[in-house]
Each structure stands twice: as C-alpha cells, then as structure tokens.
C-alpha cells in the first residue's frame, strides 16, 4: 500500500523524497506546502519502505519509479509536474525518460549526476553508511550535520524525530539495502560493469528540467551537477549559496521562488 499527503488545488505536482535515515516525504516538504499548494495540487508520496508506506523486499531505488506511476494511475492523473530531492530527483528523471508523456516539467534537488572532480561516495554518504552499520544517536547527528550548511538547523527535535523513524526495523533494513557496506561494494562493482549507469541516459530526458543545488552540499557535491546540466536538452541549473543538501529547507524562500517561476512559466512558442 502506498500512502501520500495531499494539499492544494490546481495542476498536479508530485513531490518525491530523498533516501536518508528517517526520511519521509512529509519531512522533506512540509515547509514548502504553503507556497506550492497555492498553485498546485501537491501529492507528497512516501516510497515503499519509507515513512508510512508498506515495506518492500526490493531495492528501494528499484521499487520507487513504479510506485510513482502507480500513484498517478490510482488517482487518474495522466501527466504531472515532479519535484524530487536527491533519490527522488533520480526517480523523477527515470520516470521522465521511460514514460515521457507522464512528466510535464521536472525539478531536482541535488543528487542527480556523477562525481567528476570530488571523491565518490561523498562525505555525507560515508557518514550515512556509518549510521546504518552502527545506528547510534551520535552517528545520526554526524550524518545530519553533513546535510546542512548551518548546524543550527539540526535541532534536538529533528534528531529525536529522525531517530524514531530511522531505527524502525523495516526502515533500517531499507537503508542498509541502499547504504550498507555491502550495498556500496555492489554499487562499485556495477560501475565497473558494461551496463550503462542511469546518468548516461540523461540525454534522453526531454521534459524541461530545473536542477537545483546547494553550493555547499557535502552529500552530493556540486560538480555532480555538471553532467546533467550539460546533457539534459532543456536543463537549467540554479545554485544556492550557504546551503547544503536540503535546499528546499535551508534556502526555502529562494528555492520556492525559483521553482514556482519555473513551473508557472509559459511554454515557449
């Protein structure tokens, strides 16, 4: 069973969350709904294995694109705009490539692309692996601090909220399938195989795409944006200063302004 939060009226806007411990769609986007729901019918999906959606035995990344399409089908929505944070941006791009008629415009928040100059995996991913292998409050706090530019954003309330969700057995199992040491080793092996990585197919993404990024992102460093910015035919890149991985949280007003301008812009003649 898939679960989602709905707010607002207007054209459909599907919001896809990221993949860290304790993440939910609601926690990613609850601060943005007041602005977005004034213009759109916002649908905040919880991917299988995250939040309040039922777990899946499949790898979370493998299950997510189908979940997004099932939600749209279940609600009778033929075409929607999509916003995706990190993992959610990758999922949105995959849907737009495989089923282009379903995605009108796409907004991504960090995470999309490949490390060109920075080491991979990034610092935040390594701290995430440390947490899923040794889940303690201390390892959770270290990872949370890697997500932001301003450490004051990591409050005790955030830590407790994340801890409660991240240590749920099903949630922790899903996180380990993505970020445990075995998962990272498998990812490294796949990178050496003949199968093309997802970012090598981004040239097939035809939907207008706004790539948003925090200049100070320690999870997916800014150089990752260069490939998608260059190869997606109708891509724009907006970089926000003094900002880590959670652009929609840390630079909320500026991000909302850029996203609303992009999503409501008239189509070129």
Active site residues: 245
User: What is the separation, in whole angstroms, between the first and last Cα of the chain?
Assistant: 42
Q: How far apart, in Å, are the Cα atoms of 42 and each of 4, 33, 35, 60, 104?
A: 10, 7, 10, 23, 15
Q: How far apart, in Å, are the Cα atoms of 10 and each of 43, 59, 80, 105, 247?
A: 11, 33, 11, 15, 24
Q: Are 258 and 36 in contact (CB under 8 A)?
A: no
Helices marked H in 110-225 = 123-133, 137-146, 156-166, 169-179, 181-191
Neighbours of 129 (CB within 10 A): 21
| Angstrom distance (rounded) from CA 170 to CA 168 | 6
């Amino acid at each position: 069973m898939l679960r989602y939060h709905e707010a607002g009226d207007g054209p459909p806007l599907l919001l896809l969350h990221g993949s860290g411990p304790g993440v939910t769609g609601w926690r990613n986007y609850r601060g943005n709904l007041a602005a977005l729901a004034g213009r759109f019918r916002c649908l905040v999906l919880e991917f299988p294995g995250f939040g309040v959606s039922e777990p899946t035995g499949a790898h979370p990344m493998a299950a997510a694109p189908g979940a997004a399409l099932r939600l749209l089908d279940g609600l009778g929505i033929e075409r929607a705009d999509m916003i995706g944070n990190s993992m959610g941006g990758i999922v949105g791009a995959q849907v737009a490539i495989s089923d282009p008629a379903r995605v009108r415009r796409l907004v991504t928040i960090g995470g999309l692309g490949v490390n060109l100059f920075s080491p991979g995996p990034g610092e935040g991913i390594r701290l995430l692996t440390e947490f899923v292998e040794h889940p303690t409050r201390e390892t959770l706090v270290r990872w949370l601090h890697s997500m932001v530019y301003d450490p004051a954003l990591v409050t005790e309330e955030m830590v407790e909220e994340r801890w409660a969700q991240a240590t749920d057995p099903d949630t922790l199992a899903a996180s380990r399938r993505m970020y445990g040491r075995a998962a990272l080793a498998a990812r490294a092996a796949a990178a050496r195989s003949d199968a093309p990585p997802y970012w090598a197919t981004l040239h097939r993404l035809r939907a207008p795409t706004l790539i948003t990024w925090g200049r100070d992102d320690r999870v997916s460093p800014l150089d990752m944006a260069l490939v998608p910015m260059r190869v997606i035919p109708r891509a724009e890149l907006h970089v926000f200063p003094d900002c880590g991985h959670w652009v929609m949280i840390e630079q909320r007003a500026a991000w909302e302004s850029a996203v609303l301008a992009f999503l409501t812009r008239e189509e070129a003649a």
